[in-house]
């Protein structure tokens, strides 16, 4: 029996629906593995289709195309190492999430996902059939078990594989980021290693897809849970891993253990990666945004420049009579610090035209929120016109605190195709700005140094839609608001929980009410990078019509 086994791990970034492109990436990884003398080249879960496919994979024509691409891949990779790749599989009219082993020009083996996730961003119970508990597959005379992603979070699949002869575990994943998830994954996989006594390789994909970013961080564990290898987060990488057989079974030879950055850097990287891939995968190359002189738009501009480069970012100031001179100065300073284009488009003339048009209908009525929202919607109209004319995707800039309580104008400042800070509470916006001013990394395309003027970070937030307006006129101060939102949104907590945490009941009830009545706005809002387990969209799905309120 062979005493050495080499696996080439391809931590790569697929694009949903780009079957030929994903197949080409797989072939390239296979060629690298063949050149390195690999026995097996491994790709992540559902790699041929990209992930998360949602209902796209339920289309029979899409299934047929994906499976045909896998057969092409098998034929192209006939002469060399086995290739393991995730994709859809159809048997007896049933659709499965499968891991397919290609060898000798054909599909030699397959594993079918047994535990289908049906929470947070996943809805696989509705899409796929559950596969049976199965045994390992063979590559040469080595038997490998491949629980697919969720399967490795349950001991029944891995224990069945160990009992039926698996010699090590290779787990293909499409596991998206949320803050501190790497530690959660590692703890789960250590448990599987201790239960089975088998070495384990956890292979994850990278890249952005809609609101999700897959963060990679592929790792390998030896029996007992010792870390043998850890690949970088977020970066595409191909790594060769050697296993050696001894009297005690297979052991993974020590490889490079990359140190992962802290949560602040990872969150920022997710926002940059999510935007960069969303723009590239939807066919855009450049973006624009409304630059108000406030902290949210300044941070979005910095993220955009770091993702796309300054030449591909347009910042537009659209002032009214309520725009403070300091805001004009701050917006221009931030744009210049980042090196991107800055345009100045006053809205006074357009606002006057709209006011005059509506005057006969509004005669005798006092000015109120209507007139404030006209300003915001006029800005949205002008920015969308520029987006159409210049072919630049419009970014929207509302933070999670505003999105939660509806402190934003639908069809106004909510207009846009993507929102990088959608899952970032306002208190974290401030700290993220400070982090970016103090830190620069090679993956950032923007300049080093203080790219967000400190005055923008330190001044009181204001929508500047009326004279002397401050956010605190309408909402609790952000530290209080965010703490309440973390209880009510992130923690699914009750009013009683808020009171127990020291908040006034009336304030908590008001915030709860704002959360519920703003659901229709969030339903129509742009997607944005998911940073937490309770991001708005797939993580948290509430009815738009809802009269229930917590009676506690």
Four-residue CA torsion sign, 361, 363, 365, 369: positive
Q: What is the pLDDT of residues 274-283, one digit of tens each?
A: 999 999 999 9
DSSP letters, 410-431, are: TTTTT-SSB-TTTT--HHHHHH
Strand partners, 96: 89
Q: Which phi and psi angles does 413 have, rounded to 5°?
A: -70, -10
Chain centroid to Cα 532, Å, comes to 9
* Distance, CA of 187 to CA of 512 (rounded, Å): 35
Strands 106-112 and 94-103: antiparallel
What is the domain partition of the chain in residue ranges? 4-256, 264-466
Provide CB contacts within 8 A for 333, sequence distance 6+.
Answer: 453
CA dihedral 442, 233, 7, 88 (to 10 degrees): -120
For β-strands 237-246 and 137-139, DSSP reports them as unpaired
Question: What secondary structure, in 3-state letters, does 490-513 show?
Answer: HCCCCHHHHHHCCCCHHHHHHHHH
As given in the structure block, the two tokens for residue 32 are 């690298």
Nearest residue to 155 via CA among 139, 175, 133, 138: 133
* Three state DSSP letters for 163-224: HCCCCEEEEEECCECCCCHHHHHHHHHHHHHHHHCCCEEEEECEEEECCEEEEECCEEECCC
DSSP code per residue over 525-547: SPP----STT-BTTTB---SS--
Convert the pLDDT of each residue in 430-467 to its tens digit: 999 999 999 999 999 999 999 999 999 999 887 777 78
- The fold for domain 4-256 equals Nitrilase/N-carbamoyl-D-aminoacid amidohydrolase (3.60.110)
φ and ψ of 77, to 5 deg:
-110, 35
- 43: helix, strand or coil: coil
For residues 168 and 146, give the distance between their C-alpha atoms in angstroms, rounded to a whole number. Answer: 9
What is the pLDDT at residue 1? Answer: 55
Tokens of 313: 């970012």
How many Cβ atoms sit within 10 Å of the Cβ of residue 127? 19
Query: What are 83's strand-pairing partners?
Result: 41, 102
- 322: buried, middle or exposed (CB in 10 Å: 19+, 13-18, 0-12)? middle
Positions marked active-site:
45, 113, 149
Q: Give the H or E element holding residue 97.
A: strand 94-103
Quote the CATH superfamily of domain 264-466: HUPs (3.40.50.620)
**Which is nearest to 193 in space by CA: 185, 246, 257?**
185
Q: What is the pLDDT of residue 142?
A: 96
Question: Is 9 in a helix, a strand, or coil?
Answer: strand
Residue 325's pLDDT is what? Answer: 92
- Distance of alpha carbon 68 from alpha carbon 100, whole angstroms: 13
Q: How far is CA 4 from the centre of its chain?
A: 37
Ranges of the chain whose pLDDT falls below 50: none
How do residues 284-334 score in pLDDT, each as one tens digit?
999 999 999 999 999 999 999 999 999 999 999 999 998 999 999 999 999
Q: Which helix H or strand E contains 268, and what residues bound it? A: helix 263-281
The continuous run of DSSP H or E covering 435 comes out as helix 426-438
- Name the token pair of 536: 């708005």
Q: Give the pLDDT score at 524.
A: 95
H-helix segments, 36-110: 60-76
Residue 282 has a CB neighbour count (10 Å cut-off) of 11
In our burial notation (b when 16+ CB lie closer than 10 A, e otherwise), range 457-495 reads bebebbbbbbeebebeeebbebebbbbbbbbbbbeebbb
The residue assigned the tokens 């030879």 is 253
Q: How much is the CA Rg of the chain, to the nearest whole Å?
A: 26
Whether 65 contacts 271, CB under 8 Å: no
Q: Burial code of 403-421, b = ≥16 C-beta within 10 A, e = fewer?
A: bbbbbbbbebbbbbbbbbb
What the block records as the tokens of 23 is 């197949």
Please give the structure tokens belonging to residue 85: 């790749």
Helix axes 426-438, 263-281, angle to 10 degrees: 90
Per-residue pLDDT at 474:
81
Structure tokens at 202: 């956890």
């Amino acid at each position: 029996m062979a005493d050495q086994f080499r696996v080439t791990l391809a931590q790569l970034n697929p694009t949903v629906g780009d079957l030929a492109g994903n197949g080409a990436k797989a072939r390239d990884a296979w060629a690298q593995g063949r050149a390195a003398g690999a026995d097996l080249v491994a790709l992540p879960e559902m790699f041929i289709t990209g992930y998360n496919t949602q209902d796209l994979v339920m289309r029979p024509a899409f299934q047929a195309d994906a499976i045909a691409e896998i057969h092409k891949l098998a034929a192209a990779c006939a002469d060399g190492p086995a290739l393991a790749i995730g994709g859809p599989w159809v048997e007896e009219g049933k659709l499965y999430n499968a891991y397919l082993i290609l060898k000798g020009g054909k599909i030699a083996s397959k594993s079918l996902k047994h535990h289908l996730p049906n929470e947070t961003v996943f809805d696989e119970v509705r899409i796929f059939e559950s596969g049976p508990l199965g045994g390992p597959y063979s590559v040469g005379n080595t038997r490998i078990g491949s629980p697919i992603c969720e399967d490795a979070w349950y001991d029944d699949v891995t224990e069945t594989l160990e009992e039926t002869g698996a010699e090590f575990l290779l787990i293909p994943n499409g596991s998206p980021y949320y803050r501190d998830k790497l530690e959660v994954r590692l703890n789960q996989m250590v448990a599987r290693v201790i239960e089975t006594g088998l070495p384990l390789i956890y292979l994850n994909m990278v890249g952005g897809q809609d609101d999700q970013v897959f963060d990679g961080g592929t790792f390998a564990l030896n029996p007992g849970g010792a870390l043998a290898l850890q690949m970088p987060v977020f970066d595409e990488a191909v790594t060769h891993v050697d296993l050696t057989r001894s009297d005690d079974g297979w052991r993974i030879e020590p490889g490079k253990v990359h140190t992962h950055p802290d949560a602040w850097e990872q969150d920022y990287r997710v926002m940059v990666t999510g935007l960069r891939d969303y723009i590239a995968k939807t066919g855009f190359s450049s973006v624009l945004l409304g630059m108000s002189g406030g902290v949210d738009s300044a941070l979005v501009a910095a993220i955009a420049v770091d993702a796309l480069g300054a030449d591909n970012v347009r910042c537009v100031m659209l002032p009214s009579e309520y725009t403070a001179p300091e805001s004009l100065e701050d917006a221009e300073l931030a744009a210049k610090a980042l090196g991107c284009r800055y345009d100045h488009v006053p809205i006074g003339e357009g606002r006057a035209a709209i006011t005059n048009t509506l005057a006969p209908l509004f005669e005798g009525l006092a000015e109120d929120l209507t007139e404030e929202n006209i300003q915001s919607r006029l800005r949205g109209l002008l920015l969308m016109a520029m987006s159409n004319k210049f072919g630049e995707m419009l970014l929207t800039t509302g933070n999670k605190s505003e999105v939660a309580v509806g402190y934003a104008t639908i069809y106004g400042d909510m207009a846009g195709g993507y929102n990088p800070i959608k899952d970032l509470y306002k208190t974290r916006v401030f700290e993220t700005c400070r982090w970016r001013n103090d830190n620069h990394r090679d993956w950032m395309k923007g300049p080093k140094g203080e790219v967000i003027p400190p005055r923008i970070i330190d001044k009181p937030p204001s929508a500047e839609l009326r004279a002397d307006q401050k956010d605190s006129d309408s909402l609790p101060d952000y530290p209080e608001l965010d703490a309440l939102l973390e209880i009510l949104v992130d923690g699914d907590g009750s009013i009683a929980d808020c009171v127990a945490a020291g908040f006034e009941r009336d304030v908590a009830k008001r915030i709860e009410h704002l959360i519920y009545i703003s659901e229709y706005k969030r339903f129509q809002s742009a997607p944005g990078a998911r940073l937490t387990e309770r991001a708005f969209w797939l993580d948290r799905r509430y009815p738009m019509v809802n009269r229930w309120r917590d009676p506690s």
